[in-house]
Each structure stands twice: as structure tokens, then as C-alpha cells.
Amino acid sequence: MTTVMSTPPTRTMNKEKPLKDDSTNAADTSLKALVLAGTSDARELCKRALTVGVKPTAGVVTREAAAAYRELDIPVHTGKMRAIEMTDLAMRQELQVIIDASHPYANLASEEAIKASKILSIPYIRYERPAANLDFENAPATLSKEMLLFAEDDKNAAKLIQSHIQTLRESTTLAFPGKPLLTIFLATGSKTLETFSSALLPQKDIRMVVRFLPRKENLELCEKLGIEPKNIVAMQGPYSEELNKTMLRNYQAGLLVTKESGSEGSTIEKLAAAASLGIPVIMIRRPIIDYPNLCHTMDDALALAKKLVLQKSSPETAQSPQDHTQETP
């Protein structure tokens, strides 16, 4: 049966348009920001913004995410936005800066936000959680470089799996003697399902187990792709090392495929769990984007937002551009 855990409680929804924008309730402030809120720490960034004189309007994709911001009385726009929608929202609400706190792998959203900022001639700031420390000095003691392969994207990861099939089968036999199938545990979310399904499902001696958020559209996609319910883990994180270890052991995984999501994405916990079981890992790297004004802390992002808006409104105070990129701790 499909494993479904930590499903958010059902909320009574008004029968309105699919994309709801209640950001028109925003009160006038000295600084108004559009915050693309696609991560768990984006909510904290919005809360912190309110304490330093920045009024955020959150841009989210799902109604569940919107509810969390409404509980904080933060105006919210619900639905995917391209540059034209961001531009329209910013003009209507007189927003002065875009703070992009979208998911590290939501590269299309970031690219659209950068376009919108140029159209509007307002500052764009990227807040991104630091990547996990993978220099192996602070990594789990059982983790070795030989157990960790990197892929540039999901397609490259699928090719890596194909090229290492024999080695993976051997490692599975060592970890779980007598196991006839090679089980690949995908902790990469729903957006990569089509790529891995087309590459792996036709191979009868490979079992593909997928883990993603418990959303209706994700389960419908699995049904469309032919992923059996017994191979689905629909669950809301965060995932501790022990929980990851339990899942990998229960499914007798021979390979873990994950993303470089940083501390909020429990990257180190997943690596530690796999290493303790002797399971190799393929990690999909973050998309490479030349972000203007990249910050790795919330305080830096908010301070820079205020500084750039002030410079724009008072050109005589402007200084020469500086590199605001922070080194990953």
C-alpha cells in the first residue's frame, strides 16, 4: 500500500478561482517586497522582514503554503508566476524589491524573477540556503568519496544509474544478501519522476521507490506513469538520519538518489543514513545560475534589500557595487 504520513489537515476551501491573490490587502509601508516563498525557511524570512521594516507579499504555488502566510497576516499571491505576472503584481502593489527565496532547484522561477526585476527596474536579491558541507571533513565518518557520485541534473543522474548498474547490483547483494532486485530510492521530489520513470521502469530487474510530498497531483502523476502504490512514500519532511535509515533498510535500497538541498533539506542526514548501510548515493547538483545579489543569510538579504531600495530612491547615496555573496559556512 502507499505510505502516506504527516498529511496536512483538510481545510475548508472557498470555491473561487484556482489562483487567488489577496495581496491587495497590503498596508502601505516604507519598503514593500515581493518574496518568492518556495522553501521552508522563506516563511521565517517573511516573519523576520516584518521586524525590520520590510512588508513582504509572499508568492507561493499551493493553497497549503498560502494558508501558512495568511496565519501570519502576510499578504499572499497563490499560483505560479512568470515575469509578466510578477511585473503586474509588483506594479499594482507598488512593490520596491524582489527577494527570491524559491527552492534551490526552482531555476525557472528565479530566471523569471530576474526578468521581472529588470522590466520593473527594481532590485533583485537572491536568498539561498547554504549547500551542505560535502568536503568530507565534517561529513559522517562512514561516508567516503567512492560512495558519492554527482550528477548535473536528473537526466545525467539517470545515465549514471545505467552506467553503474552492475556495480550497484553487487553493492545491493552485499548490503542485503539474497535480494533479487536492485531497488533505487528516489528522494528527489515529484518533478523528476518522468525522467527516472522512462529510464528505469522498463527494466524488470529494477525497483524504483519514490518519495515526495503527499499531494493529490503527485499521486495522480504516479498512476499516469505506472508507479505502483507499494513503491510510493508520500510524506512531509523533515527527515532525520534514523528515519532515512529506516526507510532505506525497509525497502532494501541499493542506491539513494537525492538533491543538494542543504541543511533545510536534510542532506547530511540522508548521506549519513545511506553510508551507515553501505548504500551508494547519486546527488543532483543545484542548477548553476548567475544570481545578482546572492545572500546566504536572511539578515544579509533583508539589509541589502533596504540598502538597494534606499540607493534607488536617493541616487546621491549610492555607492559602488559590492559582492554580497557569502561563503558557505
**CATH topology assigned to domain 9-131+289-317:** Rossmann fold (3.40.50)
Same fold flag, 9-131+289-317 and 145-284: yes
Give residue limits of the domains in the chain: 9-131+289-317, 145-284
Take residue 213 and report the three cell numbers written for it.
Answer: 510530498
C-alpha cell at 130: 547554504
What pLDDT digit, counting tens, does each position of 241-261 carry?
A: 999 999 999 999 999 999 987
Series of mean pLDDT values for 10-residue runs along the chain (329 residues):
48 42 50 91 93 95 89 93 96 96 90 96 92 55 72 94 77 59 92 95 91 92 96 90 95 92 76 90 90 94 95 61 41
Distances (CA, A) of 20 to 46, 75, 78: 19, 11, 5
pLDDT given for residue 21 in this prediction: 52
- What is the C-alpha to C-alpha distance for residues 78 and 154, in angstroms, rounded to an integer? 27
Per-residue model confidence (pLDDT) at position 248: 95
Q: What is the pTM of this model?
A: 0.74
Question: 145-284: what fold?
Answer: Rossmann fold (3.40.50)
Sign of CA pseudo-dihedral 259, 263, 264, 268:
positive
pLDDT digits (tens, 9 = 90+) for 84-127: 999 999 999 999 999 999 988 888 999 999 999 999 999 999 99
Residue 181, all three cell numbers: 532486485
Query: At CA 183, angle to CA 180 and CA 187, rounded to 5?
Result: 170
For residue 9, whether the previous peptide bond is cis, meaning omega lies within 30 degrees of 0, is no
Phi-psi region of 315 (alpha: psi -120 to 50; beta: other; left: phi over 0): alpha
